[in-house]
Chain A
């Protein structure tokens, strides 16, 4: 793989049909003073978008996290007070914050493992399927992916409904008892998270499966065939041939899934509306949302913490994938 990449990367760096070196210094001299107008113009739309959508809100969030900004300030036009690290102290000394953090991180790990693992299995399956079956599986995956998370959560909430849910009915029918009549799936935090994991994994797998499937298409058949002739079994081929080729794709999927699964909000919030105890099922996103009405300072402090946390988690993965590309 590294060989392929080097060739690829190297290609644009070669001077191409340009004049030979002796000319270059003379030509570069006058050009240097001129502002490279065209490249910057081409970059402008993305830079403007990034500044408006990412840089400005992030800076504002950092600033807000050091103030006691309230809705009142905004409505009455009065400036907020600078309170230093008070908001951060308040968040970290809150008794329930460590539990929320641990819950979020655990959930993130479980979800990412299940989604990437399940996605990989599905991608491998799609590779073996005949055209018709592959189409069927793709459509099924796309439908799951295209469903708005809120609608999906509401429907799953009904499936697991305490009084009239189909799961309770099914379990009663299978066991031939009435043991599951009125069983509240969301009331117990553990089974709440079981339902939540089902929803999120169900919706998360299609993206991972499609991306990994696209990556699997890049693995040259000759290499696989050669290794098979050399006596490598299926697991060895997957681990030693396919995985190195897929490494960048897998890293990208893992980084994205990690971020998505840590800042998960819609599914948790919607499921909490249908049952369960919010205080025992909050993750970072919903915890932030459920802070006092319009307490922007504290919520911004939690937001800043989440940004730093996510940057820390993604740092290793992004760095290793960049290194890989440079190698």
Chain B
């Protein structure tokens, strides 16, 4: 009996010790270890990932680097949980609109001695919180309208937003979307609101005032509802992932998507993520979304990412070294070559001289961001904009949906 008791004690001790030790294994000494980098989505090109791994491992003897891919859906809860744990990733990519909120929670280390003057001012601003820089600008991107000449045929490329919507409606059939517009794709919904003079939220004294139910907001959302109902076959409650699938099936006339989607479309048909290099991708064209008047563009959402070092990183020094590679010229050149507007201004010279790259540059000239407050991330996490758009896509009453949405946004921003 007593012997059994001792065995039991031993087992219990082993269990408790095992529980304790898992936290410690990550913290390696200075002569080696592993650095984990989280990138979001498939937009970071493969050659850039390989460059990061090779450069880091050759510059830091005995160290390895792992790149893990997360999805944009992860970048609130999963990130928050991981970044405050003892098993935190070391370097993370985070959306430009979310950076301030993460910095506010103390999840990022401030970056000392970073030459922020060499980077895109818009991204630097999004990464600055309380006067300190918390993240390095990674890339910026804007949405442009793709089309395949084989599908568009003789139809003229629209020169105004109204013409764009009319063409989309005219070309819609049971199987083909004139404009592919899934309901939860809120980045692509913003240009309609902005073009008509609406806004997301503006600071009015101390309080935030939301503007989806402003006169321009209602006009924009009404036009958007017309697109959802009469120009698009996309799922009313779908999101914007894998837009190349319907495009490559020949089911889209116009597809508004980030510029890097060109690589998904022009991938070979037998690739792991199949594209249609030989069919609809063979004569891929793009233009900047037109504005209300001919000759101007609609304001688009200035998307983008920053990279930051996690506060809980076990090896902040090496993490910073990895971040410096990602913000450095060699890596940023590769991002530019992949069609992403690089955070490092000098690397922009490396952007491919194609119609698509030019369309993106034109589109980004007229771009806007979401309200700059740490509370904004909460609005995104609550997904209230997406839900309101789904209801609009289902044919709901625009005015009352917009009013409800504005109230929800104001509740969060002013709390």
Q: What residues make up the interface of A, taking CB atoms closer than 8 Å to B?
A: 37-38, 40-42, 44-45, 48-49, 52, 70-72, 74-76, 161-164, 178, 181-182, 184, 186-187, 273, 275-279, 289-290, 292-294
Whole-angstrom CA separation of A70 from B19 in the bound complex: 25
17 pairs of residues in contact across A and B, judged by CB atoms under 8 Å: A38-B5, A44-B8, A45-B11, A48-B12, A49-B12, A49-B15, A75-B84, A75-B106, A161-B235, A163-B238, A184-B235, A184-B238, A186-B237, A187-B237, A273-B73, A278-B387, A290-B382
Contact of A72 with B106 at beta-carbon distance under 8 Å, contacts A37-B5, A187-B390 already known: yes
Chain B residues within 8 Å of A289, by CB:
77
Chain B residue at minimal CB-CB distance from A44: B12
Query: Assuming the A-B contacts A71-B84, A292-B381, are A182 and B4 also in contact, with contact meaning beta carbons closer than 8 angstroms in the complex?
Result: no
Taking a contact as CB atoms under 8 Å apart, the answer to whether B16 and A52 are in contact is: yes
Nearest first, the 6 A-B pairs at minimum CB distance are: A41-B5, A75-B106, A162-B235, A38-B1, A275-B237, A45-B12
Check: B188 CB closer than 8 A to any chain A CB. no
Cβ-defined contact, B235 with A48, below 8 A: no
Given contacts A71-B107, A187-B394, contact A48 B387 (CB under 8 A): no
4 further A-B contacts with Cβ under 8 Å, apart from A52-B19, A293-B377, A294-B80, are: A38-B2, A42-B5, A163-B238, A277-B390
A67 to B338, CA, bound (A): 48
Say whether A293 contacts B378, CB under 8 Å.
yes
A-facing mask of B1-33, CB < 8 A → 1, else 0? 110111011011001100100000000000000
Knowing A72-B106, A187-B237, A275-B237, the reply to whether A293 touches B394 (Cβ < 8 A) is: no
When chains A and B are docked, how far (Å) is the Cα of A74 from the Cα of B83? 11
Contacts of A48 in B (CB 8 A): 12, 15-16
A76-B12 in contact given A52-B19, A184-B236, A277-B237 (Cβ < 8 Å): no
Q: Tell me the complex Cα distance, A38–B1, Å.
A: 6
B347 within 8 A of A: no
Which of A40, A41, A293 lies in contact with B80, CB distance below 8 A?
Answer: A293
Contact of B15 among A45, A277, A292 (CB under 8 A): A45
State how many residues of chain B have any CB contact under 8 Å with chain A: 44
Q: Is B234 an interface residue (CB 8 A)?
A: yes
Given contacts A184-B237, A187-B236, A293-B378, contact A279 B387 (CB under 8 A): yes
- B167 CB–A CB distance under 8 Å: no
Bound Cα distance A161, B175 (Å): 16
Residues 219-252 of chain B: 1 if any A CB is under 8 Å from the residue's CB, otherwise 0?
Answer: 0000000000000011111100000011000000
Q: Name the B residues within 8 Å of A75 (CB-CB).
A: 84, 105-107, 311-312
Residues of chain B within 8 A (CB-CB) of A278 are 383, 387
Let me know if B76 is at the binding interface, CB within 8 A.
yes
Residues of B within 8 A of A279 (CB): 384, 387
Determine the distance from Cα of A275 to Cα of B391 in the docked complex, in whole angstroms: 12
**Closest-CB distance, B119 to chain A (whole angstroms):** 26
Which residues of chain A are within 8 angstroms of B384 by Cβ–Cβ distance? Answer: 279
CB-defined contacts of B391 to chain A, threshold 8 Å = 277
Contacts of A275 in B (CB 8 A): 235, 237-238
Query: How many Å lie between the Cα of A278 and that of B386 in the bound state?
Result: 10
B101 at the interface (CB under 8 A from A): yes
Out of B1, B8, B105, B237, name the residue touching A276 (CB < 8 Å). Answer: B237
Per a CB cutoff under 8 Å, which of A74, A161, A182 touches B233? A182
- Interface assignment of B272: CB less than 8 Å from any CB of chain A: no
Do A72 and B104 contact each other (CB < 8 Å), given the known contacts A49-B15, A52-B19, A181-B174? yes
Q: How far is the CB of B347 from chain A (nearest CB, A)?
A: 33
Q: Give complex CA distance A296, B80 in Å.
A: 12
A293/B106 in contact, CB under 8 A: no
How many Å lie between the Cα of A72 and that of B106 in the bound state?
6
Contacts of B105 in A (CB 8 A): 70-72, 75, 293-294
Taking the closest CB of chain A, its distance from the CB of B157, in whole angstroms, is 26
**B98 to A, closest residue via Cβ:** A293
Bound complex: CA A178 to CA B174 (Å): 9
Q: Which residues of A contact B80 (CB under 8 A)?
A: 71, 293-294
List the A side residues contacting B107 at CB < 8 Å.
71, 75
Distance between A194 CB and nearest chain B CB, rounded to angstroms: 15
Q: Are A71 and B233 in contact (CB under 8 A)?
A: no
For B8, B19, B394, which residue has the most chain A Cβ atoms within 10 angstroms? B8
A44 to B9, CA, bound (A): 7
Please, how many angstroms separate the alpha-carbon atoms of A70 and B8 in the complex?
39
* Residue in A closest to B251 when the chains form the complex, CB atoms: A163
**Which of A164, A276, A277 has the most chain B CB atoms inside 10 A of its CB?**
A277
Q: How far is the CA of A292 from the CA of B379 in the complex (A)?
A: 9
Contact A41 B8 (CB under 8 A): yes
Report how far A178 CA is from B15 CA in the complex, Å.
60
A273–B238 Cα distance when bound, in Å, is 9
Distance (Å) between the CB of A9 and the closest chain B CB? 23
Known contacts: A37-B2, A42-B5, A45-B8. The answer to whether A182 contacts B382 by CB under 8 A is no
Q: What's the minimum C-beta distance from A105 to chain B, rounded to whole angstroms?
A: 23
Interface flags, B332-353, vs A, CB<8A=1, else 0 = 0000000000000000000000
Contacts of A293 in B (CB 8 A): 76-77, 80, 101, 105, 377-378, 381
